[in-house]
Amino acid sequence: MALPAWLQPRYRKNVYLFIYYLIQFCGHSWIFTNMTVRFFSFGKDSMVDTFYAIGLVMQLCQSISLLELLHIYVGIESNHLLPRFLQLTERIIILFVVITSQEEVQGKYVVCVLFIFWNLLDMVRYTNSMLSVIGISYAFLTWLSQTLWMPIYPLCVLAEAFAVYQSLPYFESFGTYSTKLPFDLSIYFPYVLKIYLMMLFIGMYFTYSHLYSERRDALSVFPIKKKTL
């Protein structure tokens, strides 16, 4: 006797993924709406306190996104673990280590720019993923999801690098995360951030190559009609 549809593992997996993508979509939609309304209401002044207005929701969305590593590991999401790990750790380090830990950085314009870039990419990606789980596929939305990152992702990395650069004087002044170790050893965190800057661009090349390959495979399922003369 066949199991009811709602008891089948595939059905439960799709329901879970749909709920996950829906939560992320709602979170990023709220961020986008909030940033848009605030910009038209307060102009450039809204950019300065972006973190204070939406930082908590962005932290929540980015923290929840770590579940995607578990999704890939257990096989309920088809993706490569390492590239996704690099993308998520980039954001977690920048958001929680660089921005959240330094109040002076939170008021910089680069924070608003970063949030816009992250939000644009995630809104499109989670919308496409949410619809795909329930069997709905739009060629334009798939194309947009697989293409939007091409100009925006490098700009994200540049903005992340600039945020790290702007944070260095504050880490040097306040000694945040710098610590002394036994045997006259110490960890000077600004040096760690400078090393991370180099790794950021190396990781960008690896991630960009993977995303481009993923884009080629995703768009290959849509036939291209050629005109005949």
* Per-residue pLDDT tens over the stretch 194-211: 999 999 999 999 999 999
Tell which residue, 93, 92, 96, 118, has the closest CA to residue 106: 96
Query: What's the whole-number mean pLDDT along residues 161-171?
Result: 95
Instruction: Kindly report the pTM of this predicted structure.
Output: 0.87
**What residue spans define the domains of the chain?**
10-219
**pLDDT at 19 (0 to 100):** 95
Marked catalytic residue, from 20, 21, 153, 196? 153
Marked catalytic residue, from 160, 165, 188, 191? 160
Q: Is 214 a catalytic residue?
A: no
- Show Cβ contacts of residue 171 under 8 Å, excluding neighbours closer than 6 positions: 102, 177, 178, 189, 190, 193
Q: Is 126 a catalytic residue?
A: no
Do 75 and 102 touch, CB atoms closer than 8 A? Answer: no
**Helices and strands of the chain, counted as H and E runs:** 10, 2
Q: Which residues pair with 187 in a beta bridge?
A: 179
